[in-house]
Structure 1
């Protein structure tokens, strides 16, 4: 029986492709044994067990974004996490490690290297993170979501997504999805989501634009992020049009949100860019202005293909959101063209392709 350990966590950008790959591995080889490794601080502590996958926790090793005394503690904390990761790999009898980046991935990569266990790296962003840059130097295989990601010997296979998304027929699923979410089945629907943590800029712009969106008859499903859903954030309806605003902390089945929506406003994380393209959901991307610029790079192929629009973070006001979104909500021809442009943009079965890479690495160790 093949033993696979998958490492990745922190945000949905890491956990979603991990879950999709683990599930596809189980489909390809039903007797396979998979173990996920994460930290208690990340989203993985909830979503991975919810997906029915075993999760083992090790200490997180976040790297300070600036020079500070905490930087001096990194070697000690990293060494401790590597020791814990070695115990996990030995206990699991790992034949191969597949990592998706994030704080948890680096100690698992290093532990695998010391135990001579083959490593497969998947980088979801167009600009790679530190953990995957390190691991790519000794990995058996390096796989990316986007072409031209600067990692040695990388192959672009796309971003693994769950079958619920890769096989989604939005038109067929829309009535049931809107009913499940408590939305009107026939109104133009805007989805706003800043990812698993939410996004303040998107939330503020949406809040300020909300009266005019509802007055135009557009209903809004707003995924704020768990920390941003307060007692004051409640559903409201426009007295004249009846259009409804539905705020939620998080959506476990994003395929329902994608099916319900006619258009989306969101960040440009790799998962959002890939999933909206796969399902053919037109979008306005507002890349996160921090980090190493990976979100703007993630969105470039989609924007160039005409599947999405882009507004830089500092320019997203209520007026700009309304100017970009409202004309499209009733322009069915343009929305259909954007949808078609997205569907042909990214591979739909990256999870299957990556699963075969992982199994191949396990066989030749």
Structure 2
């Protein structure tokens, strides 16, 4: 089978796509792949590094307010559709899967108009503009949160989960701990704000370092590359407690997560898929700067089911953060209850579910 995958802009669209490709290769090594993205997006660098055949189109997203740039976007979309049709025809695509981001708009639309079976995968509880538009044309819509159902034609929707969830299982948590300087025998909390970090979270953690230093648990604090030098300067003034390990970035995140008892993070869809797959309780501080405030809605999907605490950025202080960490890590019954709830929300076979959905629509053709 010849499979085209498209998605880009952020890691939240790219990493699920790569996880799906790896799962399909594991199930059937003879399948061939083509990834269509943009040269400007992260996918250009990440997908090429995976040695997956890559082609690009030029496309930009719509502005949410009235703008002449939207006229240019429409023209780029139409050209993107023409370019995509040519690529799909040359590749002889059997199925096309879009994982989100504006790049998959012309690619998946072109495939649908050519009669090629299509799937879109929506990672968030509130879909973006591209997937809302494409939902009218595709064969199936794979979702990760039940809350997303209301935005799509119900007869097309299947709850599959996020393929990235499958990749964090089976890791050696002790080795993960030791690899970043944590001890094997103490409860551990991971605090991070995404690959680039989040300034409000960094500010709260730095202000709470002396409090954290007196706790009977250990902290792995990931600042993000962009903020590391700034945080280091502040830590030189306040000191670095022995039980707090500070890193700019973690390369082996799945392995490290396997050894973590509690996580403090943003509420991106991929992160939540990983946490629920492993059954890790969390304190979620959703970014208020994302489209449709979807991170808060993602976070509420967990907090309302007792798998996480929701801490809005406007309410975030160093002391409040430590209070919430204590309320979980220093209450064994609470920790067990939240772990159980998080695990119940996880869909560890998500990649396989999307693969089966792909097989279903291609057989129907």
**Common fold: TM-score over 0.5:** yes
Deviation of 1:311 (Å): 1.1
In the alignment, the residues of structure 1 paired with residue 252 and residue 322 of structure 2 have an alpha-carbon distance, to the nearest angstrom, of 27
Deviation of 1:235 (Å): 11
When the two structures are superposed, what TM-score results if normalisation uses the length of structure 2?
A: 0.89
The 5 A counterparts of 1:169-184 are 173-184=172-183
Distance 1:225 1:85, change over 3 A: farther
Tell me which residue corresponds to 2:52: 53
Q: Where do 5+ consecutive residues of structure 1 fail to align?
A: none
In the alignment, the residues of structure 1 paired with residue 145 and residue 248 of structure 2 have an alpha-carbon distance, to the nearest angstrom, of 31
Please tell me the root mean square deviation across aligned C-alpha atoms, in Å: 2.5
In the alignment, the residues of structure 1 paired with residue 162 and residue 224 of structure 2 have an alpha-carbon distance, to the nearest angstrom, of 23
- 3-state DSSP class of the match of 1:301? helix
The yes-or-no answer on 1:11 pairing with 2:6 is no
Deviation of 1:3 (Å): 0.5
Greater share of residues in helix: 2
Tell me which residue corresponds to 1:199: 198
Task: Work out whether residues 98 and 108 of structure 2, in 8 Å CA contact, stay in contact via their aligned partners in 1.
Answer: yes
- 3-state DSSP class of the match of 1:260? coil
Match of 2:158 among 155, 160, 174: 155
Deviation of 1:324 (Å): 0.9
Deviations 1:15-73 (A, max 9, x none): 12111211111122221012222223333233334444333232241222433342332
Tell me which residue corresponds to 1:356: 356
How many residues of Structure 1 are paired with residues of Structure 2 in the alignment?
A: 359
Distance 1:231 1:298, change over 3 A: closer
Deviations 1:139-158 (A, max 9, x none): 11111111241211312122
Task: Work out whether residues 119 and 139 of structure 2, in 8 Å CA contact, stay in contact via their aligned partners in 1.
Answer: yes
When the two structures are superposed, what TM-score results if normalisation uses the length of structure 1?
A: 0.89
Task: Work out whether residues 235 and 245 of structure 1, in 8 Å CA contact, stay in contact via their aligned partners in 2.
Answer: no
Task: Work out whether residues 306 and 338 of structure 2, in 8 Å CA contact, stay in contact via their aligned partners in 1.
Answer: yes
In the alignment, the residues of structure 1 paired with residue 242 and residue 228 of structure 2 have an alpha-carbon distance, to the nearest angstrom, of 23
Task: Work out whether residues 60 and 81 of structure 1, in 8 Å CA contact, stay in contact via their aligned partners in 2.
Answer: yes
Deviations 1:317-363 (A, max 9, x none): 21221121134333333222211211111322011011011122223
The yes-or-no answer on 1:165 pairing with 2:165 is no
Q: Where do 5+ consecutive residues of structure 2 fail to align?
A: none
Deviation of 1:218 (Å): 4.5
The yes-or-no answer on 1:128 pairing with 2:127 is yes
